[in-house]
Amino acid sequence: MPVLRRVVLLRHGETQGDSASRFHGSNDVALSDAGRHQIREAVHGLKGEVFELVVASPLRRSWQSAAIVAGTAPVRLEAGFREIHFGRWEGLSLEEIQARDPILCEDWQAGREGFEYPSGERRADFRARVLAAFSSIEASGAANVLCVLHKGVIRVIAEHLGGEPLERDQPALGCSVSFTRAAGGSWRAGRRSSNPEALVA
């Protein structure tokens, strides 16, 4: 069976609920016109790429973005790639969260160990389901895969492959990070961009 050799992790575009400033985790919000434009711009950097598999989460902002990139190719939906559930912070802006939960918000902003979203999904559970879904992608037999996902999901996979976390606010909407498997089996990160370029093995 072929081994997964290259994976591009592309974040979905902006949503109608302004995903740049609101905590949309399990909320199923659609792409905005600006979000569609962001993804079309990202497509330019994918020209020449041949993906055997395009994957998205069942949430609209993910699969709508994937459909733009994939064109007529089918998109595989993976339930395990849904964004984390933010609990009572779902749909709120940072300002609203600071007003309602100032101490917890401070803990989150400081990256305090043991922080959990109030009434939300446990971060360990989130990581486990994301990596289980990624394992199914690795077992698919596809060598080159494009995953159009959510920021939290991308961060989990990127840390798993690269061994270290991405910067706090990365990747931005419509931006990507790519990984290529080296001859020894380890992964190396490629360019982080809204126009991801293919790596030379």
Annotated catalytic sites, by residue? Answer: 12, 83
3-state SS assignment for residue 64: helix
Place of tokens 């990070």: 177
- State the first-to-last Cα distance of the chain, in angstroms, to the nearest integer: 19
Contacts of 195 (CB under 8 A, 6+ apart): 41, 42, 44, 45, 46
Distance CA 97, CA 111 (A): 16
Q: What is the DSSP string of 130-154?
A: HHHHHHHHHTT--SEEEEEE-HHHH
Instruction: Map 72-130 to HEC letters.
Output: CCCCEECHHHCCCCCHHHCCCEHHHHHHHCHHHHHHHHHCCCCCCCCCCCCHHHHHHHH
Q: Say if residue 49 is exposed, middle or buried (CB neighbours under 10 Å; 0-12, 13-18, 19+).
A: middle
Phi and psi of 69, rounded to 5°? -70, -40
